Structure 1
Amino acid sequence: MGLSLWLVPNPTQLQLIQKVLPKQPKTRPVSAASYPDITPHITLASSGKATQDAFLRAIPSTLHPIPVEFQKLEVGDHYFRSVFISVKKTTELVALHEHIMAALDRDGASPSAPAFPHMSISYIADEDGAAERKNAADELRDITVVEGSETDLDGAETVVLRCGDSEEGYVCLARFEGTEVWIVRCEGPVQHWQVLHKITVTPDVTVT
């Protein structure tokens, strides 16, 4: 796959979301490649040609935290989009994505970002099939995902992640704040992927 550029939630939200990502089921056999530990993120761009320096050049010189709003829990037909949450195409998120894609394209990197924007919840191997992906989504709905619990002003569907208990009750997320941009080498099994560079996004940060 090469290199990817990820928008990652702030550390507190990242930890909350990671707690509820599906694990390998104990009640049924699945492939060893299914349900790896993953870092929740939005892929802004991927390229098999780009260098790390090209990705750094593609990032806007001034970055702001990017709000990411959840829309719908979906089941896909690709390993990396087995079960995912589609995300609202906000002005800020689309502008960042388009800036990066255009810069990489000018560099001849042939960038891609399938099904942008989305946040994957599970990677499930093809040999486990559509039935296992549906099982994972159904189990999320039973425990973690509350659908249609908010009314979107645009009339779009919304979901909330019920991420765990606090002293006041459940911690629920309908969105996250993208405060880190990671450059990740995505080659081989997921557990072998390498984070090459992290940029922490704070108000009016300038990338150097």
Structure 2
Amino acid sequence: MRCSLWLVPSEREHDALSCLMNFRPRHHRSKTHSSRSYPRFDPHVTLATFESSYKPKISLFLSPTTISVPVYFESMKVGNNYLSSLSIVVAKSRELMQLRDLVVEHLENNNMKDTSRSFPHMSLFYLDEKSKGDRQELGKQLERSERVRERTGRRVIEAALDCTLDGAEPEFDAMYGFEGSSIWLVDCTGGVEDWKVLEKQKLKSRRHDLRDVYLSRGEPFYSFSWPTNPVPVVTMPPSPRMGGRQPFLYGSNPLPMTPYYPPDPR
């Protein structure tokens, strides 16, 4: 049995990303493309893939007290094979790498080996190329339609996904990442549409008041990182290419406030 451990977004983020993943390019026709192209699957970041002679349990690899992990998008990548067709490269944050290292350590303790590649990434589409360049053309259409927007300097440093063009709720017009809120154990034997979810484990919130928050630029709020010490903050304007919203804030419980003005330095 070929199994994978997935880090999966919260329910609302999952639904938003699924809308984007339902996008099909103008030239797509189910009758002219391979039946393996554009299969439906759940948005996720693969933490590890391994072979097992028995049906494992998530408890072999993770504690029930494992906390949720933030995932940040860096760039879009077009691959040269089916399982790397088109994906979003994910930042190697400290939290994500620690979770992955923990999973790999437990795999090794159970005489299993991680065989996953290109960690970390989030696949958006799997595509069999009918003609050379189909995957590149798909990437170009995502960029032209601004479903994927990358902010670049000397290198690409972050990406935002607009899921609203395909039916997601308005606040998902610029997703810079998601909160990894659960772990799924998936049987990946066979084709993509044959994959089966064997078990799910919800992760504990990093703070009791955790929620996804989207703020318009310039909108003031109180940041309750510590409930007894509210800190007034004003959001900074994002790059014009990234739209009119800030990335969502994790671990904050913002409340409206009167405009905050920094102290006069004189």
TM-score range, shorter chain: 0.7 to 0.9
Superposed CA deviations along residues 133-174 of structure 1, whole A, max 9, x for unmatched, are: 11111111122101117x8xxx75211001106786762200
Larger Rg: 2
1:72 partnered with 2:75: yes
Is the partner of 2:39 in helix, strand or coil?
Answer: coil
Deviation at 1:131, TM superposition (A): 0.7
Q: Which residue of 1 aligns with 2:205?
A: 203
**CA offset at residue 52 of structure 1?**
3.8
- Report % sequence identity: 29
Task: String of CA shifts for 1:99-128, please: whole Å, max 9, x gaps.
Answer: 111110121111122100000011112x53
More strand, by proportion: 1
Partner of 1:161: 161
Partner Cα distance (1:201, 1:123) in 2: 28
Larger proportion of helix: 1
Matched, 1:83 2:110: no
Q: Distance in 1 between matches of 2:202 and 2:124?
A: 23
Q: Which residue of 1 aligns with 2:27?
A: 27
Root mean square deviation, CA, Å? 2.5
| Structure-1 residue corresponding to 2:186 | 184
Partner letter of residue 202 of structure 1? K
Contact between 2:58 and 2:199, CA under 8 Å: does it hold in 1?
A: no
CA contact (8 A) 2:65 2:204 kept: no
Aligned counterparts of 2:144 and 2:192: Cα–Cα separation in 1: 27
What TM-score, normalized to structure 2?
A: 0.68
CA shift digits 1:178-205 (9 cap, x unpaired):
0010000011121111100011112279
Letter in 2 for 1:58: F
2:234 is matched with: none
Unaligned stretches of 5+ in structure 2? 208-266
1:174 aligned partner:
176
More relative contact order, 1 or 2 (CA 8 Å, 6+ apart): 1
Unaligned runs of 5+ in 1: none
Paired positions, count? 200
Q: What's the CA shift for 1:27?
A: 2.5
Whole-Å separation in 1 of the counterparts to 2:119 and 2:171: 33
Structure-1 separation of matches of 2:90 and 2:70: 10
**Deviation for aligned residue 1:40:** 1.0
Structure 1, 70-79 or 49-58: larger mean CA deviation = 49-58
The alpha-carbon distance between structure 1 residues 194 and 168, as it changes in their structure 2 partners (threshold 3 A), is closer
Per mean C-alpha deviation after superposition, the further-off stretch among 108-117 and 8-17 is 108-117
Give a deviation string over 1:11-32, Cα, whole Å, max 9, x none: 1001101101154546353211
TM-score norm. by structure 1 comes to: 0.86
Query: Mapping of 1:91-110 within 5 angstroms?
Result: 91-110=94-113
